Amino acid sequence: MKKLLLVVGALLLTFSLAACGTEDEGAGFEVGLVTDTGGIDDKSFNQGTWEGIQRFAEDYDLAEDEYRYLQSDSDADYIPNISAFADEQLDLIIMPGFLFYDALVEVSANYPDQNFLLIDSVVEADNVASAVFAEHEGSFLVGVAAALKAQAAGEDTVGFVGGGDFPLIHKFEAGYEAGVMAVDDTMTVLSDYVGDFVDAQKGQTLAAKQYDDGAYVIYHAAGGAGNGVIKEAKDRRTNDEDVWAIGVDKDQYDEGVYNDAGDSAILTSMVKRVDVAAYNVAEDTYEGNFPGGETLVFNLENNGVGLPDENPNLTQTMLDTIADYRQDILDGDITVPEVPTRLEE
């Protein structure tokens, strides 16, 4: 009889522990995104990060109120928005963009038990995971694409439109320029900066100026302001002008569609997998492995940057050439610069 009671007791204890473990694991897990001023629907950086969070939420069955975002209308909103989520004790708070650096240094110190993910910059704190990207490597490849497309059309000029005139965006410009020059060092690369990541009208004005000055392809690294570059390319292609734009951060092919046939003004895009960064860190945190204090690097080697899987506006020969250059970078035969020539001393 004692043996029977012991067995029953052990079984009940086992079932109880198992039930508790099942109930607690992942229960009530919450993720918050604080956007920069570009907005959640910028078709670029913020949107790409949000898509990674949405995919995580779907895969891990988060309730609708367990993942959400706060919109920042100006940089003055950064600290209040991050702090608001921290006050709610969310399991992970994500900020896409180096512009959050100063705000996160302050807030992470005020909330030492809160987990944060900063994309595009590094805050050295035990409660902050930092994700950085080799933007210059991916930009080199789209520079190759731009030069090859221009060559095929008998053109010799391409353009670059940046958002904020910062070292991070200079990496995009430097890689792009190097890719163009690797194909043909006699080409001209025009360069202009919007000054922010939200002024789509100025982005369009700069694109119009570059197209008028002979640019055949324009690569933008301007967030929401880059939508103006895409619009200018669409408008011109609608009027039978042979020009192209290159998207950034996510595959922007659909944003470039300009007719009922589904043709796009987007030649290709420099895909920066901010969605993967958000997803992976959310998953690690969910599983109890938040990478606090670590800097996660996304580059060509781990497919953190590169071209979209499908590029209907590039020929197979062009894609093969781009793949060869990619391999040269991976093999160490090409070192991609991070500073454009116009800024070199």
- pLDDT of 5-52, one tens digit each? 333 344 333 333 333 433 344 468 999 999 998 889 887 889 999 999
* DSSP-derived secondary structure letter, 188: E
Distance from C-alpha of 180 to C-alpha of 95, rounded to nearest angstrom: 32
Q: Is residue 322 within 8 Å of residue 145, measured between CB atoms?
A: yes
Q: Tokens representing 264?
A: 């796009």
The confidence score (pLDDT) of residue 32 equals 98
**218, pLDDT greater than 90:** yes
Other Cβ atoms less than 10 A from the Cβ of 317: the count is 10
The string of pLDDT tens digits covering residues 310-329 is 999 999 999 999 999 999 99
Other Cβ atoms less than 10 A from the Cβ of 203: the count is 30
Distance from C-alpha of 61 to C-alpha of 29, rounded to nearest angstrom: 10
Residues 6+ apart with CB under 8 A from 32: 67, 68, 69, 70, 85, 88, 90, 92, 93, 94
Distance from C-alpha of 66 to C-alpha of 46, rounded to nearest angstrom: 18
The string of pLDDT tens digits covering residues 107-155 is 999 999 999 999 999 999 999 999 999 999 999 999 999 999 999 999 9
The string of pLDDT tens digits covering residues 300-314 is 999 999 999 999 999
DSSP track, 240-294: T---EEEEEES--TGGGB-STT--BSEEEEEEE-HHHHHHHHHHHHHTT---TT-
Q: Is the dihedral of CA 150, 301, 104, 77 positive or negative?
A: positive
| Annotated domain spans of the chain | 29-133+274-298, 135-272+315-343
Distance from C-alpha of 287 to C-alpha of 145, rounded to nearest angstrom: 40
CA distances from 146 to 161, 263, 294, 309 (A): 14, 18, 35, 17
The values of phi and psi at residue 283, to 5°, are -65, -45
Q: Is residue 71 within 8 Å of residue 35, measured between CB atoms?
A: yes
List the one residue out of 311, 302, 309, 296 whose CA is nearest residue 330. 302
CATH number attached to the domain at 135-272+315-343:
3.40.50.2300
May I ask the CATH class of domain 29-133+274-298?
alpha beta
The confidence score (pLDDT) of residue 345 equals 61
Distance from C-alpha of 23 to C-alpha of 234, rounded to nearest angstrom: 52
| pTM of the entire predicted model | 0.83
Q: Is there a common fold for 29-133+274-298 and 135-272+315-343?
A: yes
The string of pLDDT tens digits covering residues 145-201 is 999 999 999 999 999 999 999 999 999 999 999 999 999 999 999 999 999 999 999
The confidence score (pLDDT) of residue 283 equals 97
